[in-house]
C-alpha cells in the first residue's frame, strides 16, 4: 500500500464519521463535513457552534484529501481557538474579604464546588469563610458544613427559613473582623419562581454592598455538564438575575460529552474558571483548553 494509506490510524469516532473504512485518505467534501457536524452535535456542541467549527475547519482545506488524524487535529485546533480566550482561573484581588457569590440551580454542584474551592484557597494560604446562604434547604446547609470541615473552613449558618441576606451581612461582618481573605456565599437555586430568586439574590447583593460597594467581586455560576444544552438556558436565566462573572462546569468525569463547554464559550464568552471531575475534594481542575479539545475530538 502507498505510504499515504498507512493503516496506522485507529478507526475512532472521527474516522468512522469520515467513512474512512475503505480509504484512509478521503476528500473533504460536503458529505464528510455533514457527518462531522453530526458528530459534534452528538457531543453536545449545539448546532450553531458545530456548524461554525466545521466551516472554519474546512476553510482552505475543502476538496483536499485528508486522513482522520488530520481532521482530528484540525477540529481540535478550532475548538481550542474558541476555548482559549475563556480559560481563566478565578481572579484573586488584593481585597479583604473578596466576596464570591456562588449561584446555580440545585443539584448543579454548588456546595461541592464551594468545598473544593475553599480547600484550594486554603492550600494557597488564604483564609476563607463560607456562608450557607441556601437557608431553605436544611440538607444543603448540612452538606456545606461537611465540606467546611473537610476544607478546614468555618461555615456560617442561619436557622432554616431565615433571611439569606441577613446571613450574608453577618458573614461579611465576621469575615471583616477576622481579616479573612475570601468569603464564599452559597445561594438557593430554585428556578421555579424566578422573581423570588431574583429578589433574593438582589437583596444579598444590596446588603453586602452596604459593607463593600464593589462586592460581590466574583459571581460564579455552577453548571452541570450532564444537563447538556440546558446549560445554555441556565446561563441566560442567571445572567438576568445576577452579574455572572465566571463559570465552573461540574461532572465532566461522567458520561457528559463536554461539547456544551464549547457552545458556552462560543455563545457567551464568559470565563471558565475550573471543571469538576469527581466528588472528592481534589476533583476540581483548572480548565485546560488544549487538553479538553483533544479529549473532545479524540
Ligand atoms: P448543589 O445542590 O448545587 O449544592 O449541588 P451539590 O454540590 O450538592 O452536588 C449535587 C451532586 O452532584 C452531589 O451528589 C455531588 O457529589 C455531585 N457532584 C458535584 N460535582 C461533581 C463532579 O464534578 N463530578 C461528579 N461525578 N459529581 C459531582
User: How do residues 208-248 score in pLDDT, each as one tens digit?
Assistant: 999 999 999 999 999 999 999 999 999 999 999 899 999 99
- Rounded mean pLDDT of the chain? 92
Kindly report the protein residue whose alpha carbon is nearest to atom 12 of ligand 1. 109
Counted residue by residue, the chain has a size of 298
C-alpha distances (whole Å) from 80 to each of 48, 85, 288 are 17, 9, 9
Residues 6+ apart with CB under 8 A from 287: 83, 87, 272, 273, 274, 275
With both helix axes pointing from N to C terminus, report the angle between 47-58 and 259-268 in degrees, rounded to the nearest 10.
90
- Residue-wise pLDDT for 127-152, tens only, equals 999 999 999 889 999 999 999 999 99
Residue 59 has pLDDT above 50, yes or no: yes
254 is written with which cell numbers? 461522567
The pLDDT, as a whole number, for residue 12 is 66
Is 160 touching ligand 1 by the criterion CB < 6 Å? no
The pLDDT, as a whole number, for residue 190 is 82
Is 282 touching ligand 1 by the criterion CB < 6 Å? no
Residue 1 has pLDDT above 60, yes or no: no
Residue 6 has pLDDT above 60, yes or no: no
Kindly report the protein residue whose alpha carbon is nearest to atom 9 of ligand 1. 109
Exposed, middle or buried, 251 (CB in 10 Å: 0-12/13-18/19+)? Answer: buried
The pLDDT, as a whole number, for residue 231 is 95
Q: Judging by DSSP bridges, how do beta strands 272-276 and 284-286 pair with one another?
A: antiparallel
Q: Give Rg (Cα) of the chain.
A: 22
- Pocket perturbation via mutation, ligand 1, pick of 102, 108, 109, 133 by most ligand atoms within 8 A of CB: 109
The pLDDT, as a whole number, for residue 3 is 42
The pLDDT, as a whole number, for residue 21 is 55
Residue 118 has pLDDT above 60, yes or no: yes
The pLDDT, as a whole number, for residue 159 is 94
- Residue-wise pLDDT for 168-200, tens only, equals 999 999 999 999 999 999 999 987 787 888 899
Is 17 touching ligand 1 by the criterion CB < 6 Å? no
C-alpha distances (whole Å) from 160 to each of 148, 164, 216 are 18, 10, 24
Is 112 touching ligand 1 by the criterion CB < 6 Å? yes
Maximal CA-CA distance, the chain: 75
Q: pLDDT grade, residue 20 (50/70/90)?
A: low
Provide, rounded to the nearest whole percent, the portion of the chain with pLDDT above 70: 94
pTM assigned to the model: 0.93
Q: Judging by DSSP bridges, how do beta strands 26-27 and 65-66 pair with one another?
A: antiparallel
Residue 105 has pLDDT above 90, yes or no: yes
Question: CB neighbours (10 Å) of residue 192?
Answer: 6
Q: Which of 172, 115, 110 is nearest to 148 (CA)?
A: 115
Looking from the CA of residue 104, the nearest atom of ligand 1 is: 3
Looking from the CA of residue 115, the nearest atom of ligand 1 is: 7
ipTM: 0.99
The rounded distance, in Å, linking the Cα atoms of 205 and 219 is 10
Amino acid at each position: 500500500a502507498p505510504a499515504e494509506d498507512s493503516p496506522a490510524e485507529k478507526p475512532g469516532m472521527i474516522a468512522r464519521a469520515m467513512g474512512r473504512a475503505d480509504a484512509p485518505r478521503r476528500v473533504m467534501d460536503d458529505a464528510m463535513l455533514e457527518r462531522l457536524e453530526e458528530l459534534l452535535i452528538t457531543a453536545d456542541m449545539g448546532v450553531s457552534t458545530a456548524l461554525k467549527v466545521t466551516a472554519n475547519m474546512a476553510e482552505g482545506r475543502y476538496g483536499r484529501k485528508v486522513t482522520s488524524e488530520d481532521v482530528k487535529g484540525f477540529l481540535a485546533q478550532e475548538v481550542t481557538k474558541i476555548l482559549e480566550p475563556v480559560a481563566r482561573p478565578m481572579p484573586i484581588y488584593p481585597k479583604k474579604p473578596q466576596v464570591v457569590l456562588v449561584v446555580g440551580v440545585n443539584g448543579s454542584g454548588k456546595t461541592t464546588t464551594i468545598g473544593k474551592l475553599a480547600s484550594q484557597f486554603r492550600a494557597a494560604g488564604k483564609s476563607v469563610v463560607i456562608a450557607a446562604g441556601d437557608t431553605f434547604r436544611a440538607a444543603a446547609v448540612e452538606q456545606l458544613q461537611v465540606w467546611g470541615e473537610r476544607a478546614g473552613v468555618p461555615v456560617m449558618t442561619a436557622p432554616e427559613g431565615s433571611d439569606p441576606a441577613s446571613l450574608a451581612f453577618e458573614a461579611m461582618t465576621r469575615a471583616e473582623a477576622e481579616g479573612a481573605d475570601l468569603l464564599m456565599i452559597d445561594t438557593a437555586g430554585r428556578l421555579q419562581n424566578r422573581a423570588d430568586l431574583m429578589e433574593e439574590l438582589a437583596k444579598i447583593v444590596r446588603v453586602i454592598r452596604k459593607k463593600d460597594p464593589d462586592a460581590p467581586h466574583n459571581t460564579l455560576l455552577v453548571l452541570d455538564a450532564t444537563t447538556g444544552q440546558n446549560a445554555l438556558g441556565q446561563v441566560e436565566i442567571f445572567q438576568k438575575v445576577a452579574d455572572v462573572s465566571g463559570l465552573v462546569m461540574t461532572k465532566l468525569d461522567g458520561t457528559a460529552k463536554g461539547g456544551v463547554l464549547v457552545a458556552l464559550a462560543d455563545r457567551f464568552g464568559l470565563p471558565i474558571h475550573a471543571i469538576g471531575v469527581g466528588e472528592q475534594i481534589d476533583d476540581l481542575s483548572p480548565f485546560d483548553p488544549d487538553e479538553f479539545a483533544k479529549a473532545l475530538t479524540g
